[in-house]
Structure 1
Amino acid sequence: METPSALLTASPSRVSAILTRLRGIPGARYWAAAGLVLISLWVRLLLSPYLASGYGYTCFYPGVILSAYWLGGRPGLMAAGLSTVIVYNFMGPKPFSFPTDGRAMVALGFFLVSSLLLIHVLSTIRARLNTLTTKHAQVEALAMGQAELFRDHAQRTTDHLQLISAILQLRAREEADPFVSRVLTNAASRTLVISRTHREFTGGVDRRIPFEAFARKLVEAAAARGGVPSDRVSIAGGARDIPLEQATSLGLVLLEYLNTLKAQRTAVSLAVTLDEDGRDRFLNLAVTEGEGPAPDDIPLFEAITEQLGGRLLITRGAPGGGVRITFPAEVQPAESWNPVAVSVH
């Protein structure tokens, strides 16, 4: 336990930490109050050549005040009582005798009354500060919880917008009418821009996450829903991290591929790797046991690859079939708009 002198010389944050520990030790607050009184006695003895006998209580007020403010009302009362005993039994003209003259009684009464008032005022202030601290902590916790919910909701909205953009781009590729295809492409580009703007407001535009840990969580979540067992999926990405937008796209690719493998109802093993070569990165989903899905079963991959500004290669075979996406390491700008001459309603 810290000494009383350490309490006096410590910084406010250090004092707060020490007091928190003292409250958890039975009786520690009273021992600390006694220590403050002994420090007051030491100061009084140092100053005794300069103080008249009528100022016996002067140096004990700080001990009572600090005991009441730091330690509580009851330790403050103990400090006042211990100070009274020390003054009249050890520092009076006749040790171990209680003075009965009027001057001594007035000094005693003034010290006791003023100490009680100080203890009452400081205890009230301390109780209100504790109440304010508790309420502030509750409000802060509520605000942090609401902020976390908002960030989670905003992140989900951003991811959904990115997925909608990919679906619109896919529909644009499949549309035979050039006019409608152009409208859908513009809509996909605008939706992706809105998604990126939304991500900027959530503070995630520059956020990067480790790919290997992210992919492992996705595989475990898919396995928990009846997908490919996680022990049949190996993941290797080293310490590489990727921008949050790219992580969303690659996460969609991985989940879509796992769902497609699940639909085949055949036992497969999958190797997921993320490699890097200069400015390009490569996501490989290789089936090491069993047979991968046909390219026509995963059309969304083309749209997601376009979002990444990359190239897609899908092979089928047993083993060795899979998906390879080559994409730039940096997030690519959204496709420029090509406005149409008329509006579609």
Structure 2
Amino acid sequence: MKDKRFLERLPLAADKPWLGQFAAIAVIALALCIRLAASPVMPTGYPYVSFFPAIILTAFLFGWRAGTLAAVLGALAAWYFLIPPLRTFKFDPQVGFALCFYAFVAIVDIVLVEWLQRTNRRLILERERNAALAQRSEILFRELQHRVSNNLQVVSGLLTLQRREVDDETARAALDEAARRLGLIGRIQRQLHEPSGEQLSLPAYLRQIAGDLIDAGGKPGIICTVESDSGVALPPDAAIPVALIIAEAIANALEHGFADRDTGTIAIHVRREQDYIDLTVVDDGHGLPEDFDLAESRSMGLGLARMLAKQLEATFTLSNETGAAARLRLPVEA
């Protein structure tokens, strides 16, 4: 493959062994020329000095068969041109010892190169298998996330249908609230698609949630902005409770702060302060009633927000600024 690294393509021309044989002949011929050119300055007794690198290079580039051919050709060339008596194949014990030494070193070189290349090929195959498994796992993970989200949306729709058959206003309101929250969790679930478990970018995450809520609320004239310090992120297991708390603050702004308005601004601020993350949702709506007390509030949504904040070891407060301001102070460790 063209995108493979050079080392991953070795040995070269594996499907064309004649190229490796031709390369072995060429490399040994070059090694012989270098050795003959160096003879005037080379001490006596080093006939193979240029052939060992040639054998290693050939085996490395073209495989053990080409390396073996290079070793045989190198032995013959050294025997004929460099071992006295020159230009003969006379054999004696001294020549035999030299050839045995040469064969031992050449075999060790070829075996080591082949062993390294086989190990490299096994690692490449293992990496490709792992990449295929990771890709398949990611596809399955995303499909699971979408199925869970779709199932939650179906349950939300069923609750909405069931509401039509209920006459009691309190029960109808409870079913409405449950359907809305299940729908919100379903939309949040679609965004939790990091199979690696990496932390989610908090600003982008909140921006998407706010957009979904404003669209669902039918008030496109409401503008939501997110300002954040750089590098603020959340682990996936904290994403849903944080999203539900922030979503409750945004939903309250849409429902109460802008009850009689179709335009307005909601600003979300994300700040990192040492070991804490501060999330503030501020709107320019009507604000909280003067006698509002979060601890005494019977709102199911605010009660859920307080419960989730307690689970995260965080604090959740409401106050008046330009309008209502909801603040979640979240320990980073939690």
What is the TM-score normalised by the length of structure 1?
Answer: 0.52
CA distance in 2, matches of 1:329, 1:64: 72
Superposition deviation, residue 70 in structure 1: 3.7
Within 5 Å, which residues of 2 pair with 1:302-321? 308-310=216-218
Letter in 2 for 1:195: G
| Residue in structure 2 matched with residue 336 of structure 1 by the alignment | 251
CA distance in 1, matches of 2:155, 2:34: 76
| Among 177, 190, 195, the residue aligned to 2:186 | 195
Check whether the contact 2:63–2:114 (CA below 8 A) recurs between aligned residues. Answer: yes
| Among 128, 140, 146, the residue aligned to 1:155 | 146
1:162-192 per-position Cα deviation (integer Å, ceiling 9, x unaligned):
3443554465577542212221222123223
Kindly tell me: are residues 305 and 111 of structure 1, through their superposed partners in 2, closer, same or farther at Cα, counting changes over 3 Å? closer
1:58-96 per-position Cα deviation (integer Å, ceiling 9, x unaligned):
121122123334432222211100111222233445553
Check whether the contact 1:165–1:188 (CA below 8 A) recurs between aligned residues. Answer: yes
| Residue in structure 2 matched with residue 60 of structure 1 by the alignment | 51
Kindly tell me: are residues 113 and 203 of structure 1, through their superposed partners in 2, closer, same or farther at Cα, counting changes over 3 Å? closer
Within 5 Å, which residues of 2 pair with 1:152-301? 152-169=143-160, 171-172=162-163, 175-203=166-194
| Residue in structure 1 matched with residue 5 of structure 2 by the alignment | 13
Superposition deviation, residue 57 in structure 1: 0.5
CA distance in 2, matches of 1:134, 1:141: 11
| Residue in structure 2 matched with residue 316 of structure 1 by the alignment | none
Kindly tell me: are residues 114 and 328 of structure 1, through their superposed partners in 2, closer, same or farther at Cα, counting changes over 3 Å? farther
Letter in 1 for 2:72: G
Kindly tell me: are residues 244 and 165 of structure 1, through their superposed partners in 2, closer, same or farther at Cα, counting changes over 3 Å? farther
| Residue in structure 1 matched with residue 136 of structure 2 by the alignment | 145
- CA RMSD, aligned part only? 4.2
Q: Percent identity?
A: 25
Q: What SS class does the counterpart of residue 5 from structure 2 fall into? A: helix
CA distance in 2, matches of 1:244, 1:24: 53
Moved over 4 A (4+): 92-95, 169-175, 243-246, 304-307, 326-335
Letter in 2 for 1:50: V
CA distance in 1, matches of 2:149, 2:40: 77
Check whether the contact 1:165–1:191 (CA below 8 A) recurs between aligned residues. Answer: yes
Check whether the contact 1:310–1:328 (CA below 8 A) recurs between aligned residues. Answer: no
CA distance in 1, matches of 2:142, 2:123: 28
Superposition deviation, residue 42 in structure 1: 4.6
1:254-277 per-position Cα deviation (integer Å, ceiling 9, x unaligned):
xxxxxxxxxxxxxxxxxxxxxxxx
| Residue in structure 2 matched with residue 83 of structure 1 by the alignment | 74
Letter in 1 for 2:76: V
CA distance in 2, matches of 1:25, 1:328: 69
Aligned residue pair count: 225
| Residue in structure 2 matched with residue 29 of structure 1 by the alignment | 20
1:2-23 per-position Cα deviation (integer Å, ceiling 9, x unaligned):
xxxxxxxxxx923434x36512
Superposition deviation, residue 25 in structure 1: 2.7
1:132-175 per-position Cα deviation (integer Å, ceiling 9, x unaligned):
43234324322332232122221222233234435544655775
